A and B are shown apart, each in its own frame.
Chain A
Amino acid sequence: MTTPGTNLDAVPRLGKGVKTSYDRTRDSHVVLFPEGVLVLNETAAAVVELCDGHRSVTGIAAKLAEDFDGVRPEDVADLVTRLAERKVVETDG
């Protein structure tokens, strides 16, 4: 089963039963969910934090652009797609 790509207007939110946390052992942000753990790099952690069910992918990219250089909405959409495949985030439509 392949998940279709994420629309730039899509509004991602954390999936049910998904928790974010900071792991001191690994010095990384992590996402915890029933079937596993995802260790996030800095950008991914920033994106996940903004998946609040209010901002769109474009909105997330705009917000990130305040802190990071060269953020493209397409890259955010790709990351959201990958997170959606792991059921870490959900988007409607």
Chain B
Amino acid sequence: MAEAPFGLLAELTHRCPLRCGYCSNPVELVRRSAELDTAEWCAVFDQARELGVLQYHLSGGEPLARKDLPELVSHAAGLGGYVNLVTSGLGLTAERLADLHGRGVDHVQLSVQDADPATANRIAGVRAFTHKEEAARLIRQAGLPLTVNVVLHRVNLDHVADIIALAERMGADRLELANTQYYGWALRNRAALLPTREQLRRADEAVARARETTRMEIVYVIADYHEAHPKPCMHGWGARQLTVAPNGDVLPCPAAGVIEGLGVENVRDRSLAGIWHDSGAFNAFRGFDWMREPCRSCVRREIDFGGCRCQAFQLTGDAANTDPVCSLSPHHGEVDLILSREARPEPVALTMRQVTTGGPRNTSRVTR
């Protein structure tokens, strides 16, 4: 039997007042009418705790867009879980925060687009910047631990030093500088977001300089297209965390819905424990038996688990292949080609995130 998961990423809704061009949410967003209701989410939290989950990451979309967020926080906290609110900060008021804090939010992760207000607003597709500053002030005033998360890409990488200074002014305890992962809207906007090697090199230097003086913990997530080896995606498939999408689809990672034929199941049809332990989707890439060469006999397989399955699927058409960002992958030439075509210094317009009029796929993708 697989080990129990530690964390649940609960994507409470895909609704969001922002329209970030780098958003990793799927291009076909789940509509409000298909979202799990309050009782269904509470049942998911119960089942998750039963299964071994200790951390509840309440995310989305924008979790504050759910009117029942206070009840959901109370419920997760009541189960003894660590409640992490992952938010854009839009819609946060002193009253709402005090209420959520009182109900048991343990930590807030606030996303920021850039240190330069005009650029930040351009990346977010709306005027969000001043709300971020205000949200950070409220979070700090409440005495809650604050992580600021900034997704990095061509448009803001040159501002890393200013971004670090902004996070310090905001009073962040931790700063996550996460290079864009190319899923959902970010994949669609890849030609506008991929940075140059030179940009990454300068950002590395800025981060190293800041680490010498800052009191914040800085977590830097690498730009995997430019690296020799892939990231240890999710610490292995179906190993530590699971994601429940707004409509109840249960996924090994937030992006896994893109893998065709995975057989994603839904909490409306089957228990979380049943899906975690026995579903085809969760067992497809667990452990090492599914691996092909070069991963199968590679010494790094227990370090990076062969990389990301979604990326393997998106770039090679087969999720069981080695993540092509790996220099040992037979498909690595594809990534080099993408870099030479797309990772250029000149600006490219972003397609802002929007609700696309997709087909019936939005409701549920259970294979019966």
Interface residues of A (CB under 8 A from B): 1, 16-17, 19, 21, 23, 25-26, 30, 32-37, 87
Distance A23 CA – B48 CA, assembled complex (angstroms): 13
Q: Please tell me which one of the listed residues A1, A16, A33, A87 contacts residue B82 in the complex, with CB atoms under 8 A apart.
A: A33
Could you give, for residues 40-84 of chain B, a 1 whenever the CB lies within 8 Å of some chain A CB and a 0 otherwise? 000000000111101100000000000000000000000011101
Whether the Cβ atoms of B4 and A25 lie closer than 8 Å is: yes
Question: Considering the complex, which residues of chain B in the window 261-275 have a beta carbon less than 8 Å from any beta carbon of chain A?
Answer: none
Distance A87 CA – B84 CA, assembled complex (angstroms): 17
Residues in A with CB closer than 8 Å to B6 are 36-37
Whether the Cβ atoms of B54 and A21 lie closer than 8 Å is: yes
User: B137 CB to closest chain A CB, in angstroms?
Assistant: 17
Whether the Cβ atoms of A32 and B4 lie closer than 8 Å is: no
Residues in B with CB closer than 8 Å to A36 are 6-7, 55
User: A30 CB to closest chain B CB, in angstroms?
Assistant: 6
6 smallest CB-CB distances across A and B, nearest first, come from A17-B145, A32-B82, A25-B52, A37-B6, A34-B107, A16-B145
Whether the Cβ atoms of B55 and A87 lie closer than 8 Å is: no
- Once A17-B106, A17-B173 are accepted as A-B contacts, the answer to whether A34 and B7 lie under 8 Å apart by CB is no
Whether the Cβ atoms of B54 and A23 lie closer than 8 Å is: yes
Distance A30 CA – B82 CA, assembled complex (angstroms): 11
Whether the Cβ atoms of A26 and B80 lie closer than 8 Å is: no
Interchain Cβ contacts under 8 Å between A and B, 22 examples: A1-B211, A17-B106, A17-B144, A17-B173, A19-B82, A21-B54, A23-B54, A25-B49, A25-B50, A25-B52, A26-B52, A32-B54, A32-B55, A32-B81, A34-B84, A34-B109, A34-B147, A34-B174, A36-B6, A36-B7, A37-B54, A37-B55
Residues in B with CB closer than 8 Å to A32 are 54-55, 81-82, 106
Majority secondary structure, B binding face? mixed
| Residue tally, chain B, CB below 8 Å to A | 24
Q: Please tell me which one of the listed residues A17, A26, A87 contacts residue B107 in the complex, with CB atoms under 8 A apart.
A: A17
User: A15 CB to closest chain B CB, in angstroms?
Assistant: 9
Any A CB within 8 A of the CB of B217: yes
Could you give, for residues 278-316 of chain B, a 1 whenever the CB lies within 8 Å of some chain A CB and a 0 otherwise? 000000000000000000000000000000000000000
User: B202 CB to closest chain A CB, in angstroms?
Assistant: 20
User: B97 CB to closest chain A CB, in angstroms?
Assistant: 15
Residues in A with CB closer than 8 Å to B50 are 25
Residues in A with CB closer than 8 Å to B173 are 16-17
Could you give, for residues 144-181 of chain B, a 1 whenever the CB lies within 8 Å of some chain A CB and a 0 otherwise? 11010000000000000000000000000110000000
Whether the Cβ atoms of B7 and A37 lie closer than 8 Å is: yes
Question: Considering the complex, which residues of chain B in the window 7-56 have a beta carbon less than 8 Å from any beta carbon of chain A?
Answer: 7, 49-52, 54-55
